[in-house]
Amino acid sequence: MSKNNSSAQSGGLRGKLNNMTDTNMLLTITIIAFFLMYIGAMIFLKGGFLRTQTFFNILNANAALIVLSCGLSLVMITGSIDISVGGVTALITMCCAVYLDNMGGNVAVSVLIALAIGLAFGAFQGALVAFLDIQPFIVTLAGMFFAKGMTTIVNSNPFNVSNESFTALKNTRITVPGMGFVNAKGIYVDAYVEIGVIVALLVVIVMFCMLRWTKLGRAFYAVGGNVQSALMLGINVKKTKFLAHLLCGLLSGIGGYVYFLHSGNGAVTNAAGAEMNAIASSIIGGTMLTGGVGNIIGTFFGVLSFSTIQNIVTSAGLDEAWWTGITKAVILCLFLVIQSIVMSRKKK
């Protein structure tokens, strides 16, 4: 941020805001919004929000969403979209559940199955989008319906996995040192996170580094920003788009397995609406739908803000089923409009 603020001719906050790049501005808004919200919740709602474990529970419940959102940010930065991630996640949970329980498979192979399914969807959709120039929406909408349909074909009834080595992995808790709290009985309880959170954080770090410091990462931004200029720079646009979808597929494979680790069951309703949550989180995190702008750290905070809002809504007593849907939609709408205004202001 600082290098952009230093221009001398424009003073004051407004000038500073004008000089910030889109990414940094949206990122700053998100991070400030998240902290304000969380602190606000701590002050006004007290209860659970004062306990550190609440924060870690948000992480535990949304580890999969973090991974999926990273994938979506990648394709969105490239100027494309993928709305099949929720369906693919459901398909992965069902396939892994059937494999582990009904076929008595082992955990390592189930991870490979998850990755293979994700990669297959990514490769197929990527090929159609990149090499045949078909609108990514139609392709991935078809992908979403295909995945959901396939899930019921694999097995139509939801069931919990009872495979022992899997449940052991699922219940593994990693203690976070120094973040514990004293419960009502006066006993010190350690704060914990699940394995999925570690995976999600690793994904965030790897993707952040990839986007910032590798040739491929810069190519993603270039293609999303302006296809013509990217071509003139000698970037293979088609290959870049394909790779973005492939990576998103891989990440939905990882995200699907992380979801499976958290929920421990296979069901068609798993991750219902995850595509929308992931898109919303990416947008909140400052990724532009028009492509070329975005930041994985922003996406990470986007997921946190998005899920914190939901937590606040439920703790505030609005826990009827419909409020969740409506709040999510309102948040997405709000951020879409903010983005659109930021974009149009920039053009002037």
135, 162, 183, 229: which one binds other proteins (CB under 8 A): 135
Under the binding rule (CB under 8 A), the answer on residue 330 touching other proteins is yes
Stretch that binds other proteins, among 36-44, 137-145, 229-237, 294-302 (CB under 8 A): 137-145
Give the one residue of 149, 172, 189, 229 binding other proteins; rule: CB under 8 A. Answer: 149
Is residue 159 involved in binding other proteins (CB under 8 A)?
no
CA-angle at 209, arms to 204 and 211, nearest 5°? 95
203, 66 Cβ separation under 8 angstroms: yes
Please count the residues of this chain forming the interface with other proteins, following the rule CB under 8 A: 45
Residues 6+ away with beta carbon under 8 Å from 224:
76, 77, 78, 79, 290, 291, 292, 293, 294
Q: Segment contacting other proteins (CB under 8 A): 16-24, 147-155, 213-221, 223-231?
A: 147-155
Shortest distance in whole angstroms from residue 33 CB to other proteins: 19
Q: Does 108 bind other proteins (CB under 8 A)?
A: no
Considering the rule CB under 8 A, would residue 216 count as an interface residue with other proteins? no
Q: Which of 134, 169, 198, 227 binds other proteins (CB under 8 A)?
A: 134
What does DSSP say about strands 173-182 and 188-194: parallel, antiparallel, or unpaired?
antiparallel
Q: Does 44 bind other proteins (CB under 8 A)?
A: no
Q: Which of 114, 213, 98 is nearest to 160 (CA)?
A: 98
The verdict on 6 binding other proteins (CB under 8 A) reads no
Subset of residues 266 to 325 that bind other proteins, contact rule: CB under 8 A: 268, 273, 276, 279, 289, 320-325
In this structure, the chain runs to a length of 348
**Site track for other proteins across 58-97, x = CB under 8 A:** -----------------------x-x--------------
Nearer to other proteins, 35 or 131 (CB): 131
Residue 326 interacts with other proteins (CB under 8 A): yes or no = yes
Nearest distance, CB of residue 153 and other proteins, angstroms = 5
Q: What is the dihedral of CA 40, 45, 48, 49, to 10 degrees?
A: 0
Structural contact between residues 175 and 189, judged by C-beta atoms closer than 8 angstroms: no
Question: Using CB under 8 A, which of 20, 42, 45, 142 touches other proteins?
Answer: 142
Task: Reduce the DSSP state of residue 82 to 3 states and report it.
Answer: coil
Q: Which residues contact 219 (CB under 8 A, 6 or more apart)?
A: 230, 235, 240
192 binds other proteins (CB under 8 A): no
Contacts of 1 (CB under 8 A, 6+ apart): 20, 24, 28
User: Reduced to 3 states, what is the DSSP secondary structure of residue 264?
Assistant: coil
Task: Return the sign of the alpha-carbon dihedral for residues 149, 153, 154, 155.
Answer: positive
What does the binding site for other proteins look like in residue numbers (CB under 8 A)? Answer: 81, 83, 128, 131-135, 137-139, 141-143, 145-146, 148-150, 152-153, 156, 268, 273, 276, 279, 289, 320-326, 328-330, 332-333, 336-337, 340-341, 343-344
